Homo-oligomer: A and B are copies of this chain.
């Protein structure tokens, strides 16, 4: 197999944006701010796992907000194609040129209230006019210009809609966004509602031209064509609703202002991204982001197992005759130390109850999971730490499976939105006997898959 002699992008598979960003003053400023944040969390910025974290975070934030630098006209220009039969008059649903719809575009954006990424499933409709259509991929590219900024769902929908209306000048544009924002748990709230590892969801719409009136018949056509795709249009968020802000950071208890050095660092990050930290919607953002980070502060505490309350025994399930006990689907939250982005999912713990080992409660195991989760982590270490702590209580035969969604896998350069990771740790007889492993793995139900 041959290879071109002169590669323009040798080794730079992460994309040119990173190449360009790396040495810019804005990137360096964000790096310095991230170091302040890490130090505020009690971390050693020189330890190996964290050395490149400031640069990674800076590049990710600049990549993730590159929409500020892009122009709609540069994308749409040259992608308008003449098509006969598309009427200028659009009173009749565009005549024979009808509606054009692109569905299920996966985007992600950054929440302007808390700086965490949120996922967007974007559906776009437009009615061609003036005898021309636009290349289908351009609808996605234009949407991405506005997704790659600090956003709120309704404004994102409105900006995409307005940009397409002005860029293509069609009969009308309709936008529906299904947005999913990660929860915002604290160690305390995670215990109170142990199973909220879903997402805060919001469904918003925007329309222009023939779609400007939300009661227009053409909305019915558009929604009918989306209903095939399993979208529940009854859940559309009313534009004039009182609960304007969807971000879960808004409902977290308002503890006073966080470390002022850290909030100043976040303000500096906002400015370096090209934003105005004094914009109304951004005023609370530094404090919200620092509050989020503080959930994962390095506490230097030894785990006090004696302090945990033993839970109900009837929650345990015994597998076959080998006395394998298991606790499945213990939720966890953690923060990736390489990217300062959340990862979350479920933990499954199996252990063997033989002479001298009593089964222990779900509550204690959930505590162990949260204790190791709420800090800067990597999934492999989290898995090992849970296994080791559990084994000290459970007699040494322990198997742990952690299934997680990593925000860094969906929002960084690779954008692998459906991907999911699993890590395994095995101790004692689980490491020597494949039959024990197989029995435990078979006990994990399909529904263990974290919501994507």
The 8 A CB mask of A78-91 against B (1 = contact, 0 = none) is: 10011111100000
Query: When the two chains form their complex, are residues B425 and A71 in contact, meaning their CB atoms are under 8 A apart?
Result: no
The 8 A CB mask of A362-394 against B (1 = contact, 0 = none) is: 000000000000000011110110011000000
The 8 A CB mask of A396-433 against B (1 = contact, 0 = none) is: 00000101001011001111111111111111000110
Query: When the two chains form their complex, are residues A381 and B441 in contact, meaning their CB atoms are under 8 A apart?
Result: no
Query: When the two chains form their complex, are residues B149 and A380 in contact, meaning their CB atoms are under 8 A apart?
Result: no
Query: When the two chains form their complex, are residues A416 and B106 in contact, meaning their CB atoms are under 8 A apart?
Result: yes
Does A276 count as interface, using CB distance less than 8 angstroms? Answer: yes
Query: When the two chains form their complex, are residues B93 and A426 in contact, meaning their CB atoms are under 8 A apart?
Result: yes
Query: When the two chains form their complex, are residues B133 and A378 in contact, meaning their CB atoms are under 8 A apart?
Result: yes
- CB under 8 Å from chain B, chain A span 208-223: 217-218, 220-221
Does A200 count as interface, using CB distance less than 8 angstroms? Answer: no
Answer whether A81 and B9 are a contact pair too, CB < 8 Å, given A98-B424, A103-B421, A431-B95: no
Answer whether A70 and B2 are a contact pair too, CB < 8 Å, given A78-B52, A441-B225: no
Query: When the two chains form their complex, are residues B380 and A133 in contact, meaning their CB atoms are under 8 A apart?
Result: yes
Contact of A83 among B217, B378, B424 (CB under 8 A): B378
Query: When the two chains form their complex, are residues A412 and B137 in contact, meaning their CB atoms are under 8 A apart?
Result: yes
Most chain B CB neighbours (cut-off 10 Å) among A74, A96, A218: A96
Complex: chain B residue closest to A444, CB-CB: B228
What separation, in Å, do the CA atoms of A137 and B52 have in the docked complex? Answer: 15
Query: When the two chains form their complex, are residues B446 and A228 in contact, meaning their CB atoms are under 8 A apart?
Result: yes
Answer whether A103 and B144 are a contact pair too, CB < 8 Å, given A224-B438, A431-B93: no
Answer whether A421 and B102 are a contact pair too, CB < 8 Å, given A15-B16, A224-B441: yes
What separation, in Å, do the CA atoms of A171 and B151 have in the docked complex? Answer: 44
Residues of the B chain whose Cβ atoms lie less than 8 Å from the Cβ of A92: 426, 431-432
Residues of the B chain whose Cβ atoms lie less than 8 Å from the Cβ of A144: 13, 414
What separation, in Å, do the CA atoms of A225 and B427 have in the docked complex? Answer: 18
Contact of A145 among B13, B82, B84, B133 (CB under 8 A): B13
Answer whether A425 and B383 are a contact pair too, CB < 8 Å, given A2-B275, A228-B449: no
Query: When the two chains form their complex, are residues B275 and A136 in contact, meaning their CB atoms are under 8 A apart?
Result: no
Query: When the two chains form their complex, are residues A106 and B418 in contact, meaning their CB atoms are under 8 A apart?
Result: yes
Residues of the B chain whose Cβ atoms lie less than 8 Å from the Cβ of A82: 48-49
Q: List the number of copies, as a whole number.
A: 2
Does A279 count as interface, using CB distance less than 8 angstroms? Answer: yes
Residues of the B chain whose Cβ atoms lie less than 8 Å from the Cβ of A21: 8
Does A238 count as interface, using CB distance less than 8 angstroms? Answer: no
Complex: chain B residue closest to A437, CB-CB: B221
What separation, in Å, do the CA atoms of A270 and B93 have in the docked complex? Answer: 45
Contact of A384 among B75, B85, B417 (CB under 8 A): B85
Contact of A274 among B3, B20, B381, B408 (CB under 8 A): B3
Does A442 count as interface, using CB distance less than 8 angstroms? Answer: yes
Answer whether A96 and B421 are a contact pair too, CB < 8 Å, given A2-B275, A434-B220: no
Query: When the two chains form their complex, are residues A338 and B15 in contact, meaning their CB atoms are under 8 A apart?
Result: no
Contact of A423 among B98, B141, B276, B387 (CB under 8 A): B98
Residues of the B chain whose Cβ atoms lie less than 8 Å from the Cβ of A432: 92
Query: When the two chains form their complex, are residues B420 and A104 in contact, meaning their CB atoms are under 8 A apart?
Result: yes
Residues of the B chain whose Cβ atoms lie less than 8 Å from the Cβ of A14: 141
Does A448 count as interface, using CB distance less than 8 angstroms? Answer: yes
Give A397 Cβ to nearest chain B Cβ, in Å: 13
Give A351 Cβ to nearest chain B Cβ, in Å: 14
Residues of the B chain whose Cβ atoms lie less than 8 Å from the Cβ of A230: 446
Query: When the two chains form their complex, are residues A81 and B48 in contact, meaning their CB atoms are under 8 A apart?
Result: yes
- Pick the 5 closest A-B CB pairs, nearest first: A11-B74, A16-B16, A7-B69, A217-B434, A98-B424
22 A-B pairs in the complex with CB atoms less than 8 angstroms apart? A7-B68, A9-B70, A13-B70, A48-B81, A52-B78, A81-B338, A84-B384, A93-B426, A96-B387, A96-B427, A101-B421, A101-B424, A102-B420, A104-B420, A105-B416, A106-B418, A136-B421, A137-B408, A218-B434, A228-B403, A228-B445, A229-B449
Known: A137-B412, A218-B434, A225-B401. 4 other contacts (CB 8 A): A98-B383, A99-B424, A136-B408, A225-B441
